[in-house]
């Protein structure tokens, strides 16, 4: 199976194929959120990556470029982004936020409400998370 760095165009294509595969098995999010990401320090990009996550009834999308309007814009480094969204480690996100390595411009409360339950431990979420890890080249632990 091919693996790609998180948020590269190839990774987005594979992740969207997974989303389509699971769309009839995952309950639709009832909490809408439009969050822009500015991801710094990705080894494959000289510039920060502009990406987004959108949730809502019948919607879950991760993509490149920013949404307009957005509820919030989150700036964080690539390793933290992977830890949160691919490795399913919300503690990494909390620690980065508390130490100032994550900057949020916008509705912090909405971010906590919508994304606080990510990786909530249900079997289907675990299966999807594992499939996402299977297509993702993880950053070096020493990087």
Residue 26 domain-assigned (yes or no):
no
Backbone angles phi, psi at 142, to 5 degrees: -85, 0
Q: Per the domain annotation, does 139 fall within a domain?
A: no
Q: Is residue 136 part of a domain?
A: no
In the chain, DSSP assigns E strands to: 4-5, 33-40, 49-56, 59-64, 72-77, 103-106, 136-137
pLDDT band at 142 (very low <50, low <70, confident <90, very high): very low
Cα separation of 96 and 49, whole Å?
18
41 within some domain: yes
Which structural domain range is residue 115 located in? 4-21+32-131
Tokens 């693996």: give the residue.
Answer: 3
Question: Tell me: the pLDDT tens digits for 10-33?
Answer: 999 999 999 888 888 776 666 789
Report the pLDDT value the prediction gives residue 116, as an integer from 0 to 100. Answer: 66
Considering its fold, how many domains does the chain have in total?
1
Q: Is the pLDDT of residue 122 over 60?
A: yes
Residue at 27 is within a domain: no
Domain assignment of residue 105, yes or no:
yes
In 22-142, DSSP assigns E strands to 33-40, 49-56, 59-64, 72-77, 103-106, 136-137
Residue-averaged pLDDT of the chain: 86
* Residue 80 CB partners (closer than 8 Å, separation 6+): 92, 93, 96, 101, 102
Asked if residue 141 is part of any domain, the answer here is no
**59 inside domain:** yes
Q: What is the CA radius of gyration of the chain?
A: 14
- What's the pLDDT tens digit per position in 60-70? 889 999 999 99
């Amino acid at each position: 199976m091919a693996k790609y760095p998180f948020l590269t165009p190839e990774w987005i294509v594979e992740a969207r194929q997974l989303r389509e595969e699971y769309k009839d098995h995952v309950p639709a999010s009832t909490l809408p959120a439009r969050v822009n990401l500015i991801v710094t320090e990705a080894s494959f990009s000289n510039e920060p990556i502009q990406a987004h996550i959108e949730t809502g009834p019948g919607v879950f999308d991760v993509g490149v470029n920013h949404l307009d309007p957005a509820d919030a814009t989150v700036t964080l480094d690539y390793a933290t982004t992977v830890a949160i969204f691919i490795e399913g480690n919300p503690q990494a996100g909390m620690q980065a936020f508390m130490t100032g390595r994550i900057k949020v411009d916008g509705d912090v409360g909405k971010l906590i409400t919508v994304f606080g339950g990510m990786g909530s431990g249900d079997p289907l979420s675990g299966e999807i998370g594992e499939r996402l890890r299977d297509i993702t080249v993880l950053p070096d632990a020493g990087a």
